[in-house]
């Protein structure tokens, strides 16, 4: 959550409390050997989940009506996936295909899933972040950043209008926000949008001695597309059940937080990799404008400007 701490977690749902009772409440009443067995069983479940689960979707796709039966089908589908992957040790066919030829987003999701299960990354797609939300209470907590997320987030913001605004220079975070915020949906915590590899995440704007910046935040859990927002309309208890199931078995969701700093004079990102994304966006805009101008000159009709012309050329 950009520069703000996530709000305190609400009271766990009844379903989640039941699962926590299995892994923690009951464990407190067991003798030490039994506690060790329970801990080992939890670790094995998480390890199997990290190896077998398709880290994109976790229940049967809901229909548009969002009714009670639809909600139950989603929960039932999620439960079956967890049991197959975590208990029966059956690899999801989509996961198997993903491992043969992973995209950069696949790598990121599989690495985050491994971290969720307290296992090392496979592809090294995330790294410890040098930054923390300014209001973070736990100063020892490690946050993680991803260049893939940063590149995709930045490129999605850089249309012709944004580039024109940035090229005039940035006096403050207010200028940066005016240039780049339109792609997100305003919320209490900043702006929300779906980010590559993270699902629904948050970005915001800030400024410090290094200059104005975009920050992005996501607590990566096992229901990244809806999370606590109940986006598919299955209600808070059902949503908490899906996101909390394996957390109650000892998993630890990694928290992703990073920043993209901008130079006030040039309006360009400071980081070299982010500069490449920026320069590519500028090149795309110029190419699209040249194509549109050529089309307009040849037909006498005005062609829509911006990326639409570029996309027509690429087809």
Q: Which of 160, 155, 165, 154 is nearest to 305 (CA)?
A: 160
Q: What is the pLDDT of residue 54?
A: 86
**pTM metric for this prediction:** 0.74
* Angle ∠(182,187,191) on CA atoms, nearest 5: 40
Q: pLDDT band at residue 28, thresholds of 50, 70 and 90? A: very low
pLDDT at 252: 82
Residue 222 has pLDDT above 80, yes or no: no
Q: What is the mean pLDDT of the chain?
A: 76
37: pLDDT confidence band, cut at 50, 70 and 90? low
Alpha carbon 305 to chain centroid distance?
Answer: 31
Q: Is residue 139 over pLDDT 60?
A: yes
Q: What is the pLDDT of residue 231?
A: 40
Lowest mean pLDDT among 148-152, 236-240, 305-309: 305-309
| Higher local confidence (pLDDT), 9 or 93 | 93
Give, for 207, the enclosing helix (H) or strand (E).
strand 199-208
pLDDT for res 290: 82
Q: Which of 175, 174, 173, 156 is nearest to 164 (CA)?
A: 175
More confident residue, 209 or 289: 209
């Amino acid at each position: 959550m950009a520069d703000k701490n996530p709000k305190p977690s609400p009271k766990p749902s009844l379903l989640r409390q039941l699962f926590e009772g299995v892994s923690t409440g009951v464990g407190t009443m067991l003798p030490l050997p039994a506690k060790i067995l329970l801990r080992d069983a939890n670790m094995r479940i998480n390890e199997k989940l990290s190896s077998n689960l398709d880290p994109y979707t976790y229940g049967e796709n809901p229909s548009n009506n969002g009714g009670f039966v639809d909600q139950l089908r989603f929960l039932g589908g999620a439960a079956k996936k967890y049991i197959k992957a975590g208990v029966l040790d059956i690899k999801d066919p989509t996961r198997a295909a993903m491992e043969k030829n992973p995209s950069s987003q696949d790598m990121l999701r599989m690495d985050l899933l491994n971290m969720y299960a307290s296992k090392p990354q496979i592809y090294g797609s995330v790294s410890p972040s040098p930054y923390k939300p300014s209001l973070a209470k736990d100063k020892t907590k490690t946050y993680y950043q991803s260049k893939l997320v940063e590149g995709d987030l930045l490129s999605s913001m850089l249309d012709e209008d944004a580039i024109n605004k940035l090229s005039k220079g940035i006096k403050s975070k207010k200028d940066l926000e005016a240039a780049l915020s339109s792609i997100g949906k305003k919320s209490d915590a900043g702006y929300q949008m779906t980010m590559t590899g993270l699902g629904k995440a948050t970005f915001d704007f800030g400024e410090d001695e290094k200059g104005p910046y975009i920050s992005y935040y996501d607590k990566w859990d096992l229901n990244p597309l809806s999370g606590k927002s109940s986006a598919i309309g299955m209600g808070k208890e059902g949503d908490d059940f899906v996101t909390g199931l394996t957390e109650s078995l000892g998993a630890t969701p990694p928290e992703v937080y990073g920043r993209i700093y901008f130079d006030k004079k040039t309006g360009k990102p400071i980081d070299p990799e982010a500069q490449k994304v920026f320069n590519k966006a500028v090149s795309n805009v110029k190419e699209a404008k040249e194509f549109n101008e050529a089309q307009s000159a040849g037909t006498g009709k005005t062609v829509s400007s911006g990326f639409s012309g570029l996309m027509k050329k690429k087809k």
